[in-house]
Amino acid sequence: MEPTVRIGVDVGGTFTDFVLFDEKSGRVHTGKRLTTPQDPSEAIIEGVKRMLAETGFAPADLHSVVHGTTLVTNTIIERTGASVGLITTEGYRDTLEIGKEIRYDLYDLFIEPAPTLVPRHRRLGVPQRMDPDGNVLLALDEEAVRQAARKLVDEYKVEAIAVSFLHSYRNPAHEKQARAVIAAEFPDLPLTLSGEVAPEIREFERTSTACANAYVQPRMRRYLDKLQTSLAALGFRGHLYIMLSGGGITSVREAREFPIRLIESGPAAGAMASAFFSRLAGLDRVISFDMGGTTAKMCLVENASPNRKHDFEAGRVRRFMKGSGMPLKVSVVDMIEIGAGGGSIARVDDIGLMKVGPRSAGASPGPVCYGLGGTEPTVTDGDLILGYLDPKYFLGGEMALDPDRVKRAIDGKLSQPLRVSQTDAAHGIHRMVNENMAAATRMHLAEKGRDPRRYTLIAFGGAGPVHAWGLAKLLKLSRMVVPLGAGVTSALGFLVAPPATDNVRSYVARLDQIDWAHVRRLYAEMEAEAKELLVEAGARAEAIELHLSADMRHIGQGFEINVPLPKGSLGPEGLAAIRASFFNSYSQHFGRTVETIPIEALSWRLTCVAPGRDIRLDSVRPPSTGTVARRGTRQAYFAGHGYVDCAVYDRYALKPGDRLEGPAVIEERESTCVVGPDSTVTVDPVYNLIVDIR
Amino acid sequence: MAMTSVRDLDPITLEILWSRLISIADEAAAALLRTAFSTIVRESNDFATVLMDEAGDSISENTGGIASFSCILPRTTKHFLRLFPAKTWKPGDCVITNDPWLATGHLPDFTLVTPIFHRGNLVGFAGSIAHSPDVGGSLWAADTKEMFEEGIRIPPSKILEEGRRNELLVNVLLSNVRVPEQVLGDLEAQIVANEVCAKRVQEFLEDTGLPDFRELSKSLNARTEAQMRRAIEAIPDGTYRATLDADGFDENKTHLACAITVKGSDMVIDFTGTSPQIGRAINCVMNYTHAYSVYPVKCALDPFTPRNEGSYRALSVVAPEGCLLNPRFPAPVNARQLTGHLLAGVIYRALAPVLPDKVIADCGGAPTMRALFSGVGRSGNRFSQILFASGGMGAAPHRNGLSTTAFPTNAGAGSIEAFESISPLIVWKKELRADSGGAGKQRGGLGQVCEIEVRAEQPLILSLLSDRRYNPAMGVLGGKPGALAEIVMSDGTVPHQKSRTTIKPGMRLTMRYAGGGGYGPPAARDPATLQEDVLNGYVSAEGAKRDYGAA
């Protein structure tokens, strides 16, 4: 009999989260363990064992384990990756360091430069050159490659090598030739070719991606090998799948080859969970809102699929400052992340105004109310004073909060210097953090030419449901949805993610001058690669859907937009349809079209998706069976109303079909949903709270 | 958040309102940037969006635009208000100009200003500036002798009148440019940006219940003004001087004199003693001189407070009429950045003795060095491509200068692969230039070397806009100057650094970008960091010996 149990594992910085789902019984079970940073597989193995023990399943019942990890992103942030050498086109050894030549802060004279993973002495140029059409201008000097590799390995002791040659996206022959030379010398050395990890035009971004891949590869390989071995030792005979940054799952092989594609695998799960809930609720326009302790992440989910993009900036010197990190050409969920979380600190700035974030008190010392030594008022502290959080029921009562300590901190740090009341200061923190999130969301939508008013908010994360109502009001949304179990929501994403791949090839040409035979060749190549991977990742070959698109622009513009290519349009006869598709996308983005300027395509993309496995929530039940929904009332503060008697509900006792009026506070273990006046809450069949705001 | 007065606005609400106004300017900028055709807008961030009150004072500006533009827009708007009094503006109007003296100092930048109405009253202006793909005239030249050669000049005029486009004006303009669709496309992008700003402002006023910006603007400007004044007060009263020599044009060498007088919380930057205006296009109009003087001061004294009109009230800038920094009409001004970008360096050198921890040395990337290649390229398509690349930034008190990074402008660089795929050029090298950073306790940022081969079938035109062939970026407080810029052809000829040259197929052009100046005496350099520089080849072993006396 086919095994029916699947486990999703999310290795986070502090906790490793587990969610188990049995297809046969529909049973869902969740768990949590402290992450083991030296060897994350330890916590995973222990956790899987415990999940099985708690549910009475055997390792042989496991169909698959789906895994997301912050290991890649942490390796880059903490700079704990391998010593990497770069072999590149002679004359271009500094591409990585020269970068985009911008100052990411216009006014700060003393900015720290964006990080470079490979120092100059380990970047070596070798004679070779292709032109933009992939013709060889200068043959590859194999001896120079050999010497360079020897120097890097013998003298500089590098643990991995990246090879990046100019125009390798167009013709990878020299990079492949270099690989053969290096592999002959050092057969076990991990090697990354830029034309394989990111076959896209723009040498800085492609080289940066290749170096980052080489940088994380040795560590990721060790880790994945260890994990596979340990799972096998446990008696696990199922499949191990890995979550990609774009929200699809893949095989261990691709993860070993291109670990950089896992950089956003954790956050992607949250977006996939939102996509799942939006499909259940029949919502085609959703803003996914995940607010935790340090950051808030927002992304658009349209037609049950998260918006994606094909570049990402990692390892920023200033975390929330665009341009201060290294660019990566990887497919990721298009998400904005800002420094707004429960731990974000409120302070008075130089000119006497209040600011909230991006600095965070984190988990340690944490907010003042935790009583763990925090002295600076945070968002959570403000929420406590406003009556949104119950000092006695935080984390289901595991942690008592101390309002008096908070009052003293707010008084000293904010009320007195700002000359405002304690209530105004607390409410100020709450609305300012909401305001910051609203501004970032509005900008994100504005850049895509979307109007927020037509969207529904899906809120999760520990602080998400506390702030969702305020955020929804600022964005003028009329509806929000809060799934049950804010802390588990994200992990569900692992179980609903479909096997998916993203392939790309750059070939720059004007639409009216394209060599279509070449484009068809590129697609045939990509399709073969993709299908092989997807079948490995558990897909049936005949069920794979292909989505073709191209990055296009008017000649002269610097920004490309991604344009879907209609079926069967790869040829001169499809030109009209492609043009129409371009104008359609263009006007969606920019609200207008300019028909007279020629169009060019730069990169050709193929996304392949196999149907994901669904999970049923029909057997989801709140963890405890409270019988009395209404816990009582407490004083909570709402703008324009002041402190009012606010009904407090036990979320676990609410039943599908229940209906209640705001203001209300609805408590569950991991979070609290705050609903202001002029709003109605209904509970849907899978225990989501649906909040309609008038 | 209903309110009718800001008088008693608490600091929390004020911060919220201000952030919202900044994000309105940012949203307008996003609208502009997404649709602009101009390479310069995109690669050099040569644009700005500003929200102004009904008097034309700036309230907020976009975060990523070019600082000097944000500073100029309110000045241009006030000119408009003198020509078109407040009463005469109607909803749906939009006024345009590219007059160098009224706006940004040269013709290629269009300034567009749209009035914002709320409940029937004029409450403010949405403005944008962007570098146009073309304005006719002699493209990309510093060798013009009068402004009239530089393109078409549009006096302040309504391009939109109550929503109707002034077809006559648009037709005259488009008939004078090489790429009319792109020029019109970018003007439309600016109009859209202004409209986005106006619409968001109306929503803002609706939400907050404020009738207009009067009091809010006053309150925000008072705070930024006070902050700048506090910073100036910390400088001892006195007059601080520095001078600077630049290459000028051929025999017309130019000289800048700068005297900065601090008295209490006021600062006067006086350029009396600077060379007279010259008959070539490096003259810098007063608006531009002002903007490029106050921007570096803001960076040094108060970098983190958001900007508006108040930020600059404590500063005044003086340059005698008829001098290089305040030329009379119709002086040629097309390449005014070749002079204007130099101001930051001379100002910092003047202030270095009293503000040693706040300034940096001269930048090799000031002024920017630009090469434009044009002609017939691949597949017979006409092409015109600018090579974007920068010299090194001046060293800072506690850090080496950033290599290949421009200041005071913030021009980025594009991809060579993209550059090559639309032009018949092969760039054989684009690499850091060893030993180009000025020696010092902190080293100046490195310039770079670019080597470009022409692979077209016909000769191409090379237009150069550059300086620093004879005058390097100076060091401060004992730091040494950075390396000079060098431009040389493979046949040994040296093209004019501010004019046009023909280059033949097969020729190679080598451009060496200037390095930044050093900070503090080289003898004070930490030997460990010098050794690391040598290991990485930023400084050669000979350079270490020559410039630092290292063994």
Model confidence at B357, in pLDDT bands (50, 70, 90)? very high
Q: What is the Cα–Cα distance from A255 to B120, expressed in whole angstroms?
A: 61
Model confidence at A167, in pLDDT bands (50, 70, 90)? very high
Q: CA distances (Å), B105 to each of A42, B144, B287, in order?
A: 65, 15, 7
pLDDT over 60 at A687, yes or no: yes
Q: Which of B183, B209, B224 is the last residue of a domain?
A: B224
Q: Where are the beta strands (DSSP E) in A610-655?
A: 630-638, 642-650
Chain B residue whose CA is closest to A156: B535
A596 touches B at CB < 8 Å: yes
Nearest CB to B11 within list A201, A418, A556:
A418
Q: Inspect the interface and report whether the beta carbons of B23 and A439 lie closer than 8 Å.
A: yes
Question: For residue A596, which of B184, B176, B187, B137 has the smallest C-alpha distance?
Answer: B184
Burial A152-173 (b: 16+ CB within 10 A, else e): bbeeeebbbbbbbbbbbbbbbe
A595 touches B at CB < 8 Å: no
Lowest mean per-residue pLDDT among A76-85, A428-437, A529-538: A529-538
Nearest CB to B35 within list A92, A120, A590:
A590
User: How far does the CA of residue A269 sit from the closest CA of chain B (Å)?
Assistant: 29
pLDDT of residue B365: 95
Hey, how many other C-beta atoms are within 10 angstroms of the C-beta on A656? Answer: 11
Contacts of A575 (CB under 8 A, 6+ apart): A511, A512, A569
Residue A123 one-letter amino acid? R
User: How far does the CA of residue B23 sit from the closest CA of chain A (Å)?
Assistant: 7
Helix locations, B104-245, DSSP H: 167-174, 180-208, 214-233
Question: For residue A326, which of A314, A343, A342, A311 has the smallest C-alpha distance?
Answer: A314
Q: What is the pLDDT of residues B497-518, one digit of tens each?
A: 999 999 999 999 999 999 999 9
Q: What is the Cα–Cα distance from B111 to B118, expressed in whole angstroms?
A: 23
Rounded to the nearest integer, the mean pLDDT of chain A is: 91
Look at residue B67 and give its three-state secondary structure.
helix
Q: Inspect the interface and report whether the beta carbons of A120 and B404 lie closer than 8 Å.
A: no
Q: Inspect the interface and report whether the beta carbons of B19 and A109 lie closer than 8 Å.
A: no
Q: Which of B204, B224, B244 is the last residue of a domain?
A: B224
pLDDT of residue B6: 57
pLDDT of residue B381: 76
* Residue with the two structure tokens 């290292």: B550
Instruction: Note the Cα B280 to chain centre separation in Å.
Output: 20
Higher pLDDT: B439 or A323? It is: B439
- The one-character DSSP state at B392 is P
Lowest mean per-residue pLDDT among A364-378, A619-633, B490-504, B535-549: A619-633
pLDDT over 60 at A625, yes or no: no
Whether residue B307 is contained in a domain is answered as no
- For residue A640, list chain B residues with Cβ-Cβ distance below 8 A: 2
Q: Where are the beta strands (DSSP E) in A12-165?
A: 15-22, 27-34, 62-69, 84-89, 123-126, 129-130, 136-138, 160-164
Section A479-487 average pLDDT: 85
Largest CA distance in chain B: 76
Q: Inspect the interface and report whether the beta carbons of B430 and A94 lie closer than 8 Å.
A: yes
Lowest mean per-residue pLDDT among A146-160, A253-267, B319-333: A253-267
pLDDT over 70 at B223, yes or no: yes
Q: Inspect the interface and report whether the beta carbons of A420 and B405 lie closer than 8 Å.
A: no
Whether residue B300 is contained in a domain is answered as no
Nearest CB to A100 within list B10, B299, B413:
B413
Question: For residue B324, which of B369, B355, B292 has the smallest C-alpha distance?
Answer: B292
Chain A residue whose CA is closest to B426: A131
pLDDT of residue A32: 79
- For residue B182, list chain A residues with Cβ-Cβ distance below 8 A: 556, 597
Nearest CB to A353 within list B11, B30, B404:
B11
Q: Inspect the interface and report whether the beta carbons of A558 and B42 lie closer than 8 Å.
A: yes
pLDDT over 70 at B13, yes or no: yes
Pairing of strands B109-118, B47-53: unpaired
User: How far does the CA of residue B394 sit from the closest CA of chain A (Å)?
Assistant: 10
Chain B residue whose CA is closest to A559: B34
Q: What is the Cα–Cα distance from B322 to A377, expressed in whole angstroms?
A: 57
Largest CA distance in chain A: 80
pLDDT over 70 at B222, yes or no: yes
Helix locations, B234-333, DSSP H: 286-301
Q: Cβ(B62)–Cβ(B24) under 8 Å? A: no
Q: Inspect the interface and report whether the beta carbons of A447 and B415 lie closer than 8 Å.
A: no
Look at residue B548 and give its three-state secondary structure.
helix
pLDDT over 60 at B1, yes or no: no
Count Cβ–Cβ pairs < 8 Å, chain A vs chain B: 205
| DSSP line for B26-63 | HHHHHHHHHH---HHHHHS--EEEEEEETTS-EEEE-S
Nearest CB to A352 within list B11, B37, B358:
B11
Q: What is the Cα–Cα distance from A240 to B337, expressed in whole angstroms?
A: 59
Nearest CB to B426 within list A131, A424, A510:
A131
Q: Which of B206, B224, B242 is the last residue of a domain?
A: B224
Q: What is the pLDDT of residues B434-462, one digit of tens each?
A: 999 999 999 999 999 999 999 999 999 99
pLDDT over 60 at B4, yes or no: no
| Burial category of A539 from C-beta neighbours within 10 Å (exposed 0-12, middle 13-18, buried 19 and up) | buried
pLDDT of residue A618: 63
Q: Is the dihedral of CA B504, B505, B507, B512 positive or negative?
A: positive
- For residue B305, list chain A residues with Cβ-Cβ distance below 8 A: 350-351
Section A344-361 average pLDDT: 90
Is domain A265-338+439-496 in CATH 1.10.3720.10, yes or no?
no
Pairing of strands A239-243, A129-130: unpaired
Q: Inspect the interface and report whether the beta carbons of B411 and A101 lie closer than 8 Å.
A: yes
Total domains present in chain B:
2
Model confidence at A441, in pLDDT bands (50, 70, 90)? very high
Q: Does one domain contain both B22 and B168?
A: yes
Section B64-91 average pLDDT: 93
Q: What is the pLDDT of residues A187-232, one digit of tens each?
A: 999 999 999 999 999 999 999 999 999 999 999 999 999 999 999 9
Q: What is the Cα–Cα distance from B221 to A577, expressed in whole angstroms?
A: 53
Whether residue B548 is contained in a domain is answered as yes
- For residue A419, list chain B residues with Cβ-Cβ distance below 8 A: 10-11
- For residue B451, list chain A residues with Cβ-Cβ distance below 8 A: 91
Q: Cβ(A570)–Cβ(A519) under 8 Å? A: yes
pLDDT of residue B410: 87
pLDDT of residue A592: 67
| Distance linking the first and last C-alpha atoms of chain B | 69
Section A605-629 average pLDDT: 74
User: How far does the CA of residue B34 sit from the closest CA of chain A (Å)?
Assistant: 7
Whether residue B50 is contained in a domain is answered as yes
Q: What is the Cα–Cα distance from A154 to A101, expressed in whole angstroms?
A: 33
Nearest CB to B410 within list A103, A449, A559:
A103
Q: Inspect the interface and report whether the beta carbons of B536 and A446 lie closer than 8 Å.
A: no
- For residue B203, list chain A residues with Cβ-Cβ distance below 8 A: none
Q: What is the Cα–Cα distance from B22 to A609, expressed in whole angstroms?
A: 41
Section A286-296 average pLDDT: 91
Q: Inspect the interface and report whether the beta carbons of B405 and A92 lie closer than 8 Å.
A: no
Q: CA distances (Å), B186 to each of A538, B35, B111, B275, in order?
A: 49, 7, 11, 36
Tokens of B328: 């009379």
Contacts of B50 (CB under 8 A, 6+ apart): B25, B58, B60, B61, B62, B70, B73, B74, B126, B127, B128
pLDDT of residue B5: 56
Q: Inspect the interface and report whether the beta carbons of B420 and A132 lie closer than 8 Å.
A: yes
Question: For residue A444, which of A313, A303, A287, A291 has the smallest C-alpha distance?
Answer: A287
pLDDT over 70 at B2, yes or no: no
Q: Cβ(A130)–Cβ(A136) under 8 Å? A: yes
pLDDT of residue A495: 87
pLDDT of residue A362: 75
pLDDT of residue B7: 58
- For residue B18, list chain A residues with Cβ-Cβ distance below 8 A: 353
Pairing of strands B252-263, B238-249: antiparallel
Tokens of B284: 């810098």
Pairing of strands B252-263, B157-161: unpaired
Tokens of B84: 């078109």
φ, ψ for residue A164 (rounded to 5)?
-140, 110
pTM of structure: 0.93
pLDDT of residue A540: 86
pLDDT over 80 at A623, yes or no: no
pLDDT of residue B385: 85
- What percent of chain A shows pLDDT beyond 90? 67
Q: Inspect the interface and report whether the beta carbons of A597 and B406 lie closer than 8 Å.
A: no
pLDDT over 80 at A576, yes or no: yes
Model confidence at B8, in pLDDT bands (50, 70, 90)? low
Instruction: Note the Cα B160 to chain centre separation in Å.
Output: 28
Whether residue B420 is contained in a domain is answered as yes
Q: Is the dihedral of CA A287, A314, A189, A203 positive or negative?
A: positive
Query: Which of B220, B421, B513 best probes binding to A when mutated, by most A CB atoms within 10 angstroms?
Result: B421
Nearest CB to B404 within list A101, A442, A443:
A101
**CA-based Rg of chain B, rounded to a whole angstrom?**
24
pLDDT of residue A241: 92
Model confidence at B141, in pLDDT bands (50, 70, 90)? confident
- For residue A425, list chain B residues with Cβ-Cβ distance below 8 A: 12
| Burial category of A392 from C-beta neighbours within 10 Å (exposed 0-12, middle 13-18, buried 19 and up) | exposed
Domain span at residue B375? 360-551
Look at residue A442 and give its three-state secondary structure.
helix
Model confidence at A549, in pLDDT bands (50, 70, 90)? very high
Query: Which of A169, A353, A641 best probes binding to B when mutated, by most B CB atoms within 10 angstroms?
Result: A353
Whether residue B60 is contained in a domain is answered as yes
- What percent of chain B shows pLDDT beyond 90? 83
Model confidence at A621, in pLDDT bands (50, 70, 90)? low
Contacts of A666 (CB under 8 A, 6+ apart): A648, A649, A651, A654, A672, A673, A675, A681, A689
Residue A543 one-letter amino acid? A
- The one-character DSSP state at B323 is B
Domain range summary for chain A, segments of one domain joined by + = 265-338+439-496, 344-432, 500-609
Q: Inspect the interface and report whether the beta carbons of A351 and B224 lie closer than 8 Å.
A: yes
**A518-523 contacts: CB < 8 A, separation 24 or more?**
A519/A570, A519/A604, A520/A570, A520/A571, A522/A604, A523/A548, A523/A570, A523/A604, A523/A606
Question: For residue A37, which of A11, A18, A10 has the smallest C-alpha distance?
Answer: A11
pLDDT over 90 at A293, yes or no: no
pLDDT of residue A28: 82
Model confidence at B282, in pLDDT bands (50, 70, 90)? very high
pLDDT over 70 at A626, yes or no: no
Question: For residue B209, which of B79, B282, B118, B147 has the smallest C-alpha distance?
Answer: B118
Q: Inspect the interface and report whether the beta carbons of A107 and B39 lie closer than 8 Å.
A: no
Q: Inspect the interface and report whether the beta carbons of A597 and B432 lie closer than 8 Å.
A: no
Lowest mean per-residue pLDDT among A411-420, A527-536, B492-501: A527-536
Section A231-255 average pLDDT: 92
Rounded to the nearest integer, the mean pLDDT of chain B is: 93
Question: For residue B225, which of B141, B316, B307 has the smallest C-alpha distance?
Answer: B307
Contacts of A471 (CB under 8 A, 6+ apart): A289, A434, A437, A438, A441, A457, A459
pLDDT of residue A333: 95
Nearest CB to A110 within list B16, B399, B405:
B399
Q: Inspect the interface and report whether the beta carbons of B303 and A353 lie closer than 8 Å.
A: no
Whether residue B301 is contained in a domain is answered as no
Chain B residue whose CA is closest to A434: B16
User: How far does the CA of residue B35 sit from the closest CA of chain A (Å)?
Assistant: 7
Q: What is the pLDDT of residues B375-390, one digit of tens each?
A: 988 677 778 888 999 9
A485-544 residues touching B, CB cutoff 8 A: 508, 510, 513
Section A70-85 average pLDDT: 91
Q: CA distances (Å), B305 to each of A353, B311, B363, B393, B530, in order?
A: 11, 9, 24, 23, 36
pLDDT over 90 at A649, yes or no: yes
